[in-house]
Structures are given as structure tokens and as C-alpha cells.
Structure 1
Amino acid sequence: MLIVDDREDDLYMLRVLLEGHGHAVVSASNGEDALKAARKSPPDIIISDIMMPVMDGFRLCCEWMTDERLQNIPFVFYSATYTETKDEEFALSLGAARFIIKPTEPDKFMKIIQSVVRDLDAGKIELRTPTLRTGEEVLRLYDERLINKLEKKTLALEKEITERKRAEEKLHKANRLYATLSQVNQAIVKERNKQKLFQTICNIAIKFGKFRLVWIGLLDEENQLVDPVAFSGEGSDYLQNIKISLTDDLTGKGPTGRSIREGKSVVFNDLETNPEFAPWRERALEKGYRSSGAFPIRLDNTVIGALNVYAVEPHFFDAEEINLLEETARDISFALDKFEEETNRRQAMEALRQAGLIIENSPVVLFRWKAADGWPVELVSDNVTQFGYTPEELRSGETPFASIVHPDDRERVTHKMQDYSASGMTHFQQEYRIVTPDGDVHWIDDRTTAEQDADGNITHYQGIVIDITERKLTEAELAAQLDELRRWHDATLGREGRSLELKHEVNALLTELGLPPRYSSVEEEGKSRD
């Protein structure tokens, strides 16, 4: 069999199919080569494509039918291009035995070919005689089919070019949108200053998004006015006298006001005709703006402003553009949330730092112990060094807390903690002594809170330890001074009583002698003492 096709893949598939059914196959890539091969060694059947270079299938068939050695060999057309009824009619009028449209299922294709082979072997093949009488008629119909096919190919090509342009425009647009969003995300990752981020995003939208004007406005809660805080693009002086008030029926109905008030994207795709854009229309058209959109910016889920975008084309904002700008606004909101979190984190860290400084410079030591033998320390503030211990040796377990409690107080402290815990108390206070590594003794005020698990079992103790050594020393000194005062007071009262008795005795003796009393105030002193 001779197979003819300019497409190598089609030749290969056809060869595999025919050889798989036991047929010997010779191939050619155009009509001219096929004709040379057939005249050199005539095949039993020829299967030919139609549209080929050098010599197409129709011309090959014409040449075939005028060659006395070849004209009785069945000619089968197999085409994917010429598929219309008139194409088949023309092919058969040239003398073809069969006309098969490509692609055809392999089983069906082989049934057709095998029927031709059987009829050929049985001498039953009905060889077609060309029905066209003159060469002019053949050329006319050939040109007609060729022109028809070329017209359709041209239309198909024009359609393909149009679709390709659309695809290219769509791809270009997708690349532009992706580049814009990618650059915005990179800016969000890199920039740590809110105002710089706003300006960078406006610049990115102009450079990569190809918009006319981009600006970010934030709402002033006090006066309900939208203040432009960053902008980029042509005609930015448009913003110099712009007024957008959420409380004003006229200026609050534009894209920006509605977006902030309603918390959603608002697009005006024709600024020239949209009545709600009337307050800004004249200046906007002068600047070349024909469509506009506003997209809400949030902080902690509360709308605080809007991303505002202007384009030179009416109906510029399709679904893809809106999705891009909504994503950009969400990214800005995400960045603002992160800025807020970072600010709060820094404030919290500063508060902790200040609290740490206060603790480190105070006599109050923070502790957290495990509710286990020896009260192992899990956490302790650095100022525990005032007792001569490092935080590391306490936290490591090298020095359990119980080991630093004064031996004379340890049992009492242990029993009290057990009693408090058994009674269900979770907050308790004790005063006891601890001993430093150098042997110094410090009195402490221990204020403890018990931590319980879900089952009510105590797992840890936490609290503060306050050095009250100076207070204890002062109390001891005051107690000693008080005892001394009491002893002096008692001694003084004894001497005064004896003096009064002696005065009474002297006066009594003088009276017996008939003399006046020496101490006239003795009675009064006695009364005053009484």
C-alpha cells in the first residue's frame, strides 16, 4: 500500500495501523513523490491526504487516473481539511474509490480499507471512471474547492488571530495584575512604616497597574471627612480641593464615601454619566478620568478608609480588576493589623521592661514553685540575688526553695502550707526566715497563691517574697525600748511613793512638836496621785 501525507505523525499512525493488519506499506510526503514511487513500483492501493505541498491530493488523483499503469489501482482519499459533501463529490468525480474523513476510528477505517482489498482480490472492485469530461471543468471545480477551502481557512485564521490577540491581551492583563499584587505583597513584607507603605502601594499601582491616579484616604472620625494621606499618578492636584464628607448627602455618595460607609467595593464605570459623581465630574474629566473605584481599608475589621483608583477608559473595572484591587485593599488592611499588633507588642514589651525594672529595684522577689518535695523553683525574678542566690542555681534544681528556709522555721512553714491547702485556701501569707549562702538570716513575707489543675489538685505555688528583715529588726528594737521604758516607769513610781511617805512622817513629827508642817502641799500631791 502507498500512503501519502505531509504530516509525519499522521503517516506514522497510518503505517502502524496498516502494518498491524498485515499490509506492506510505502510512504510519501507529497503527491509528486507518491507519483514517482507508484510509477516505479505500482501499489495495490493508494491512500492519500488532500492538502499537501508540491502536489496536493486532487492533482495527484488527476495524474493517477490519466496514467494507464495506475488508473486501475484503487485511489482512497483520507482528509481532515476537505470534509464537505461537495469535496467528496469532487473527489469521487475524479475517479476515487473511497472518500474517508479524518479522523476515523481505527476499526471503522480498517473495515473500509479491507472491503476495498477484498473486492480487489475478488475482482469485484468497481473502479470509478472520472466523470469530468474536460480539463477546464476539472480546473474549474478544483479551483472552486480550493478557493472555498482557502476562504474558510482565511476566516478560521482571522478568528484564530483575533482569539490569539484576545488571549495575549488577557495574558498581558493577568501578568499586569499579578505583577501589581506581587509588588504590593513584597512592599508589605519589607515596609515597617505605615505612611511609607501607603505611598509605596500608590506608586506600585501606577507603575504596574497602569492606572491614571491612585490615592489612599483615611476617615477623620471627629469631623467625618476623608483625608488623602498618599497618592500617585497624573493629575494628583485633583485632590487638593477634594471634599468627601460621610455626613453630606452630596459629597458622601461618591465611590469613596459609599465604600467607607457601606464597607464594600464601589465602582463607577462611567464618570461622564453617573449622577452620583456630579460634584467632581468636571475636574475629573479634565484630568482624563473616565472610571473610578473605591475599595475599603480596615483596621481590626473596622473600615477606616479606602483605596481609590482612576482609569482613562470607561468600563475599565471588570471582575478581574475588581478582584485585584479588593485583594490589594485586603493586603493593606492585613498590614495595618500587623502594624497595630506590633505597636501593641512593643508597648507590652516596654511595660514588661518597666515592670521588670521596678521589680529588679524592689525588695519584692517573684517565685513559682512546683508542688513537690523541696518546692523546686520553676521561675524566679533576677533580683533574688539580694538573698545571695543566682536565678540559675534555683531554677536548675540545684538549690530547692525548702533548703534555704531557716531550719527552725522549715517544719512550721511546711505544716502551715499543708493546713492551708487541706482547708481549700488558695491564697495565704506567712512570715519566716531564710538563710543566705553566707549564713546571713533574712526575714521574709511570703504571699502565695496555689495553682490547681482541672481536677482541683495543686500543681504549683506562685507568689511574692518580700524582705522584711529591717522591719523585724525595727520591731525588735521598739520592743526592747518599750520594755526598758516600762522598767524605768515602774522604778520611778516606787521612788515617788516613798518620798511622799517621808514627807507625811516629817509633817507628823513637826505637828507633835507644835511646829507648823514643812511640806504644805503633801495632801495635794497625794490627791493628785490618787
Structure 2
Amino acid sequence: MHRIIIGRHGEDTMSRGSDTNTGRRRMDQAANLLVRATEALLQASDELELLEQICLIGAEADHRLAWIGYAGPPPGRKVTVMARAGQAVDYLSDIPISWNDDEFGQGPTGIAIRSGQPFVVSDTRSEPIFAPWREKAELYGIRSSVALPVGEGEQRIGALMFYSAQPGMFDAQVVGMLMGVARNLSHGIATLRMRARHQQIAKELAESEQRYRSLVELAPDAIVVHGHGSILFANHAAIHAFGASSWAPLTGRPVLDLVHPDSRGDALERLDSPPPGHILNHYRLLRLDGTAFEAEVLACSISFRGLPARLLVVRDISERTRVQETLLQTAKLATLGEMAAGLVHELSQPLNIIRLAAEGALMLIERDKANQEFQTQQFALIAEQCERTAEIIDDIRIFSRRDTTPIQVFDAALAVRSAIEVLDGQFRPDGIAVHHELPPVPLPVRGRRVQLEQVMLNLLNNAHHALRDSKDSMPADWSGEIFVRAARRDDHVEIVITDNGPGLPESMKTHLFEPFFTTKEAGRGTGLGLSVSHGLITAMKGSLSLRDSPAGASFAISLPLDLDAAGPLPLPALSPALAQAGSGDSHILVVDDEATAAQTLARYLRELGYRVSIAGTGIEAWKLFSEDPADVVITDLRMPAGNGEQLVEKLRDYDPLLPIVIVTGHLGATERVAANLEDDRCAVLKKPVALGQLGELVTVFLQPPT
């Protein structure tokens, strides 16, 4: 209950002005004011309108003036008039009122706000604290007043004031009634403010939701929300990205329908156990028409319609991937360019042996000095050197192609060995020895073998250049050495390439894997090698790093071991006896625009007992085949009139089960044709071809199906 503060001369004045009828009338007015003020509170919808209504009700209750002031903040603590009503409203004009502890804050309003208690001035003429306002109060006929605090404690808002033309009009009972008005006003203001705040929050929430909805709908990236694997929401970009429509919507579909089989394993794992936080991954996704595209997917957990869900932001990176592949191919070709001189040397060696052996044998045959054993040795030597040449060409073919092979499990040790063999011949002329320590068992990793070979070639080339260029600055008895080691380390494969050269300056180590950074002189390095290599190894979920080494430079590759991978299956061996199973009833069509190659091949097949026809173009071959269908067709790909691919298409249309052997030396076509055509009735062989292998393959194709 509030304590009433009364001015020092208030009691006498109240006594002189009090009688039974007057007291009853004051109580009736106060009670009526409380009732009407309560009704106004219940109907109020606006704070300022409520304040004005309370002041108007106070004026109609025979008060000379009713007004409400709000307490301002420190340091000024001014009291601002918010509403007023009555005959003496002009009394408030130019009156400084505050609730500060100063001259203008010692009046009834300031005391009520500071103390939280009602303050009564029974007679303005005799109350000392009212001295600053007495003259003006007299002018407007004000003789008594009461100031009522509005709000409690730290939530005190201000004060409600009533002024009367008669002294002693505010006794304890009247003040008690009016305090009810002030308390109700306080609650009403709090309710209206809470309602206004709620409406503002609801408005801001609606605006925020609309903004975010607009952002989501207008976002260039596809945004998908799924719950327990079922799509709940997709924005316009997602509908466009996945090729959906009103008759083929995304919502309701399993999210795995949008994931390519290559990435489905990872997606299933994350569906079963969603990781915390924001996770960025690379996936191969599917549009509704079945076409695949590369994408970055940012995923996080959210609440959607009150239920747990996952939000996916999908960005199509197909174009970026194409650019990266172009960059990768550029780096590969740059490496090939640096290797060109060594490759020429590698090819010239077996070709030189072939020529020497052939011309030497011809000379001795002409002079009748070449017995059967000598001829056999020479031709075996030629065949051996041809195989060596074929291996070199095959390595170049694999490395130079644009890699579109699928991700698969391969032997990392075999890829390391292949890279060493390609470059080994280039190290020897510079007096550089390569030592390798590779395990006898496979090291299965998942990725693309040609990409690991490219990384190895780049690191070996860098070591080669560093050793060769530093030779003059090394001691006389120094010789360059490169050490390559591959081994299993727990659940990882570790490949380390170390040289005994001068090493790398500390200032360069932090920039090694940045694009276009090179330690080589102008015109010799692209600055792409280590950057591309780092990207390739990272894409295989591994790491490429520079290690501390007491001498030279040491690079380490770490790749996750594929523990679930089955070992590579050996190719079935063809029995040599099958090469003797030729039959004159079997017709073989040989197609090659190189007449010498076609005739040599035909001679070999006839010797095996087959009937052989020869054509020099695809058009001529189709004509011969139409007139006399063959049991097996052996064809080149690149020919001047009607190429081999067109011929194969016609033959497949004629007989889908017709055995076809494609022989080609074209680098790009080999992989393309192998991917598109090779099956159990079509084989692709790379030039130079081993006659024995070809003969066995023809024999297998001619065997009746089991």
C-alpha cells in the first residue's frame, strides 16, 4: 500500500475544508473517475489515445486540470507532458518540470516519480515547495493537487496529476481511489506496449520471413530441404537445376533420386549420420532426365515446420570442373613438353635397334650367311623392341589424354612404378639415379590412376631439374639421386619422393602450392604443376605436403587405403593352342588404308588357315562385306573414305553379335572407342599390334558360344 506524502501545511487546510457532504461528493467523483478510467483502459488500443482519455475523464470529474507526464532519462530527467485536459491546460505552458534533484524537481511531480509515493498539496498558497509555481497556479485558479506515480520500481513511467480549484480536495480516501486509477493506467500502458511490441515483432518476423523467402527464391544456387531423406522444399533455382516442373515436382521425392550412383555411398552415410555444423562436399548429382552434373553441396541441420531437417545449398560446378580439367590438361601437356626430348630419345633407341637388326639380317640373307637360328634371333629382337616402343607410346597415350575415366580402385604402387619407368631414361644421361622401394603387394586406393601418375611425373620432373641444375654447385664427387618409397601406413598409403639436391629456400616453402608460383627460370615452368598436383591429391581425399629433410627436397603423398577393395582380377590367359585352330571356312575381313600393314596381317591370318579379304577404306569394306559377309572384321579407325567408326556402326546394325577387332594408333580415339564400343564381341587393340595376340583373339571370337 502506498504511503501518502502530504505537504507540511496540508493537515490544517484539509481540516478546515472537510465536512460530511463535501467528503461524500469527493469520494463519489473519485469512484466515478476510477470506473470510467477502467472502462477506458479495457477499450484502449493506443497508448497516447488512452492517456488523453484518462485526462479528459479527470477534467470531467470537476478537476481544474488533469495531466500525465513521462519521466525523461538522465542527466536532464525532464518530465514531458504527454496528455492534458481541463480549464487550466495553459497552466503547463512554459513551466519547467523535472524529476531531478534540483529546484524544478522538488515539486509534487518530481517527488512522486522519485519516491514512488503519491504527493498531496492541500493548499498551493501555503505549501513551501510549491513556491516556484504558486503565482501561476493562482492565476489559473488552482488551490490543491495530487501527484500519483505511474509504474513501480525501475518500470516507473512518470506521474498522473490532478488539480482542484478548492483547497483540501485530496484526502486519504480520495487519493486511494485515484491511486487505483494510476495503477490501472500503469498496467494498461504495460499491456498496450506489450501488445505493440508483439505486433511489431510479428510484423518484423513476417517481414524477415518474406525477406528470407525472397532471398531463397531469388538465390542463384539451388536450395533443397529434406527430412528423413524426403524432399520437403525446393526453390526456383533447384527446380530449374534439376529439371523439375509442375507435373514432375521435386517435393515428395527421395533426395537420393538426385544423387548419381558414384556419390550415393557418401550420401547414404551422411543421411544415416548427419555431421554437426556446416559441411561442404563435392557430389555427382542427377537431373530428373538422368543427365549428370558436378556440384558443391553445403549442408546443415535446421528446423522446418517444427521438425528436424537438413538444408542443402547446391551449386552446379560443371563449368568450373571443365575449366579445372582444361587447366589440368594444360599442366599435363606442359609436362609432356618438358619430357619431349627424353621421349624422343626413348623412342629412338628401340627404333634404332629395329633398323640395325632388320638391315643387318637382310644383308646376311642376301649373302646367304643367315641361318635359321640367326634369323629367329633377329626377328625375336625386333619383336622385343617393338613391344618396348609400344609400352612407351602407351604411357604417352594414357598420360596425354583428357581424363574422363570413372573413379575406381587401382594399385597406387603400380602407378608409381609406371611413372618411374616413363622418366627413367631421361635421368640416366644426366647421371641421376632413381632408387625405388615398392611393396610386392598392391596398395589399393580410390581415384583415377592417370592423375596419380601425373602427380608422380611432376614431382619426379621437379627433382630431376633441381638435381641437374645444381650439379655445377655441388662437390666433384657428388651425383644426383632420387629416392621413391611407397608403403602402407595403418589405413593410408604413403608415397615419399626425396632428392639429395640443394633443397628449397624457406621463403619459397609457403608458396609452393599456389597457382603460377614457380622456382624455375622464365620460360621453363608454368607454375601449375604443384598447384594442380595438390588439387588432384586433395580430390582423392589425400594430402600432398613438403617434408623436412636434412638434404634436398622431400614431398609426401598420403592417400586413404581402400580396405574394402578386392584385388585386381587377372586377365584370362589365352591358350597358344587356339592359334592353330583356324579353319578355311572362316572368313576374315581386314580393313586398313596402309596397304603394307593390311597385306602383312592378311598373310599371317592366311597362314593360320583363314580365308581373308582386304579393303583400304570403310566404304570399300562395307561393299565387300555386303557381297560376302565376314565372320570377323579387323578394322583401322582413321581412313580417308568412310572411317572405321562409321563402318563399325553399320556392321553393328547388320549384326549386333558380329565379332569386331578395332586396331588404332590414334591417341584420343582409343579411349573413346573403348568406352563406347568395347564389349564381349568387340575388342580394341593399340598399335603396334602383336600378331600372336591378334591371332588368339580371332580364334576366341570364332569359338562357338558355350
Instruction: Give the TM-score of the pair, scaled to structure 2.
Output: 0.39
1:211 aligns with 2:54: no
CA deviation after TM superposition for structure 1 residue 439, in Å:
4.3
Aligned residues: 325
- Using a 3 Å threshold, how does the CA distance of structure 1 residues 219 and 174 change in structure 2: closer, same or farther? closer
Partner of 1:330: 187
Partner of 1:399: 253
Partner of residue 91 from structure 2, selected from 238, 243, 247 = 238
- Using a 3 Å threshold, how does the CA distance of structure 1 residues 171 and 328 change in structure 2: closer, same or farther? same
CA deviation after TM superposition for structure 1 residue 430, in Å:
2.7
Partner of residue 283 from structure 2, selected from 432, 436, 439 = 432
1:58-69 aligned at under 5 Å gives the runs none
- Using a 3 Å threshold, how does the CA distance of structure 1 residues 365 and 282 change in structure 2: closer, same or farther? farther
1:460 aligns with 2:314: no
CA displacement 1:139-189 (0-9 Å, x = unmatched): xxxxxxxxxxxxxxxxxxxxxxx9999989866753443123202431x23
Partner of residue 215 from structure 2, selected from 355, 358, 363 = 358
CA distance in 2, matches of 1:241, 1:440: 80
SS at match of 1:467: strand
CA distance in 2, matches of 1:169, 1:306: 21
CA deviation after TM superposition for structure 1 residue 435, in Å:
3.3
Q: Which runs of 5 or more structure 2 residues have no equivalent in the other structure?
A: 1-18, 346-471, 473-520, 525-706
CA distance in 2, matches of 1:351, 1:443: 33
CA distance in 2, matches of 1:367, 1:343: 30
SS at match of 2:320: helix
- Which residue identity does 1:447 align to in structure 2? L
CA distance in 2, matches of 1:164, 1:280: 31
CA displacement 1:83-105 (0-9 Å, x = unmatched): xxxxxxxxxxxxxxxxxxxxxxx
SS at match of 1:494: helix
CA displacement 1:375-423 (0-9 Å, x = unmatched): 234566676444455899989x7323333333442232112444666xx
Contact 1:430–1:446 under 8 Å retained in 2:
yes
Contact 2:34–2:180 under 8 Å retained in 1:
no
Partner of 1:220: 72
- Using a 3 Å threshold, how does the CA distance of structure 1 residues 170 and 349 change in structure 2: closer, same or farther? same
Partner of 1:477: 323
CA distance in 1, matches of 2:297, 2:81: 58
> Which stretch of structure 1 is more off in the superposition, 276-285 or 439-448?
439-448
Q: Which runs of 5 or more structure 1 residues have no equivalent in the other structure?
A: 1-161, 453-458, 500-526
- Using a 3 Å threshold, how does the CA distance of structure 1 residues 235 and 321 change in structure 2: closer, same or farther? same
Partner of 2:136: 283
1:308-457 aligned at under 5 Å gives the runs 308-313=161-166, 314-316=168-170, 317-364=174-221, 368-370=225-227, 372=228, 375-378=229-232, 384-387=238-241, 388=243, 398-418=252-272, 425=276, 428-439=279-290, 441=292, 443-450=294-301
- Using a 3 Å threshold, how does the CA distance of structure 1 residues 490 and 402 change in structure 2: closer, same or farther? closer
CA displacement 1:14-42 (0-9 Å, x = unmatched): xxxxxxxxxxxxxxxxxxxxxxxxxxxxx
CA distance in 2, matches of 1:300, 1:462: 47
Instruction: Give the TM-score of the pair, scaled to structure 1.
Output: 0.50
1:78-117 aligned at under 5 Å gives the runs none
1:31-70 aligned at under 5 Å gives the runs none
CA RMSD of aligned residues (A): 4.4
- Using a 3 Å threshold, how does the CA distance of structure 1 residues 410 and 264 change in structure 2: closer, same or farther? farther
CA displacement 1:482-519 (0-9 Å, x = unmatched): 314532562476379989xxxxxxxxxxxxxxxxxxxx
- Using a 3 Å threshold, how does the CA distance of structure 1 residues 380 and 472 change in structure 2: closer, same or farther? closer
Contact 2:100–2:110 under 8 Å retained in 1:
no
1:487 aligns with 2:487: no
- Which residue identity does 1:356 align to in structure 2? R
CA distance in 2, matches of 1:205, 1:445: 70
SS at match of 1:251: helix
CA distance in 2, matches of 1:176, 1:393: 69
CA deviation after TM superposition for structure 1 residue 426, in Å:
5.7
> Which stretch of structure 1 is more off in the superposition, 171-180 or 383-392?
383-392
CA deviation after TM superposition for structure 1 residue 474, in Å:
1.4
More helix by share: 1
